[in-house]
Structure 1
Amino acid sequence: MSIIKNIFFPLSILVFMSCASYQFEKQPPFKIISGTYTNWVGGVRGVSGTNINIVYSSNQEVEFDSIFYKDRKTKVSYKKNGSETSLLGQFRNETEDFQLQRSGQLEYGNSLPNDKKKKVDKPFKLDGNEVVISYKENNKIKYFKYSNLTEGEQVLYR
């Protein structure tokens, strides 16, 4: 029983401390009007991804940094369409293609290719309809969680 206490107690403190390090803002300096995620597939095998489009309004200049979606992170880009401004996050699904030798004897001893995906700190556990937006306010990075993403129609490129 004491072994369980010795393991469980420090582990639970560590979990609570890591959760407390990221506080979500309740009143950010912007208002989200709508948010969508759109899955897309390219014309070449293995090329696909997800685009995030978040339409927002703000009475002040906001310096956005990144969008977190599922277990990934990307830098924000902007799109202006008339009076609407959108945050864009583009997530490409990376697959590594490799060629096998014709002969098993030539293939013997070869290792699998290295994982070239960026290792990202996964600070947030997000569902498929949630994103976290990071932005700077008074030289401090803040986080806002948006949970109402809607799925757009899948795009097929040829």
Structure 2
Amino acid sequence: MKLLKKASYALLFTVFISTTYQCASTQTAIAFQDEIPFNVKPVSFQEWYAGTKVGGTGINIFVPISDKAKNVSIENIFFRNLQGRLTKQNGKYIAILKNPSKNYAFGIPEKPENYPFTLGINECVISYTEQGVIKYYKINEITEFAGTYYENGPPSIYVRQSASGLATLDEENDE
């Protein structure tokens, strides 16, 4: 009888410990949406670096979205272990992702402890709210444009000004 009592205590203790540790290590998996209430055209990005006095590097990311339902709000983008707010300008959503490193390198920063995704080098996730519920959409292919230099510091969300002249590569003849 004593043996049965000890065995039952040992069994209860084992079950308790295993359920406690299992719950502590479980993370909530984020489900990506297969169908979304808007259309995403090809996404592109451009790496940038700022002048030496102000320093820093980062990424401008451009997300053309069309046919967005009225009950949907585009929120954030997650790309290369960086996160930024998407802001609508000129028919597309733009985010400026500043690299926390002060080094002049375009390497991918270390993944922060609270970063919710493990993404490939050419993948990003868009978060959006639909009827008060946050949802996530993963994009698997992003186009890269040539990098740019900002002499006076990191860019802000900007509106591109229209050019007043026409740029050309044709040579002029002075005959």
Please classify the TM superposition score into its range, dividing by the shorter chain length.
0.5 to 0.7
Give the whole-Å Cα distance in 2 for the aligned partners of 1:47 and 1:96.
Answer: 5
Relative to structure 1, the CA distance from residue 123 to residue 58 in structure 2 (aligned partners, 3 Å threshold; closer, same or farther) is: same
Q: Find 2:31's aligned residue among 23, 35, 46.
A: 23
If the length of structure 1 is used for normalisation, what is the TM-score?
A: 0.67
> Does the CA contact (< 8 Å) of 1:40 and 1:157 recur in 2?
yes
Q: Is the 8 A contact 1:68 1:74 kept in 2?
A: yes
Q: Partners of 1:91 and 1:120 in 2: how far apart?
A: 18
Name the one with the larger strand percent: 1
The answer for the alignment partner of 1:73 in structure 2 is 83
Instruction: Name the larger-Rg structure.
Output: 2
Structure-1 residue corresponding to 2:74: 64
What is the letter of the counterpart of residue 33 of structure 2? E
Q: Find the partner of 2:119 among 126, 134, 155.
A: 126
Report the secondary structure of 1:25's partner residue: coil
Identical pairs, percent: 25
Q: Supply the distance in 2 between the matched residues of 1:72 and 1:128 (Cα, whole angstroms).
A: 12
Read off the aligned partner of 1:154 and give its amino acid letter: G
Larger RCO (CA under 8 A, 6+ residues apart): 1
SS in 1 for 2:31: coil
Q: Does 1:49 find its partner at 2:63? A: no
Q: Aligned runs of 1:90-101 on 2, under 5 Å?
A: 90-95=96-101
Question: Deviation string for 1:92-151 (max 9, x for gaps)?
Answer: 123459xxxxxxxxxxxxxxxxxxxxx662111012211111111111000000111111
Matched-pair contact (CA < 8 Å) for 1:74–1:91 = yes
Moved over 6 A (4+): none
Measured in 2, the distance between the counterparts of 1:120 and 1:76 equals: 22
Preserved CA contact (<8 Å) 1:34 1:56: no
Alpha carbons of structure 1 residues 95 and 56: separation in structure 2 relative to 1, 3 Å = same
RMSD across aligned positions (CA): 2.6
Q: Which runs of 5+ in 2 are unaligned?
A: 1-16, 104-111, 152-175
Instruction: Read off the aligned partner of 1:44 and give its amino acid letter.
Output: T
Ranges in structure 1 where 5+ consecutive residues have no aligned partner? 1-5, 98-118
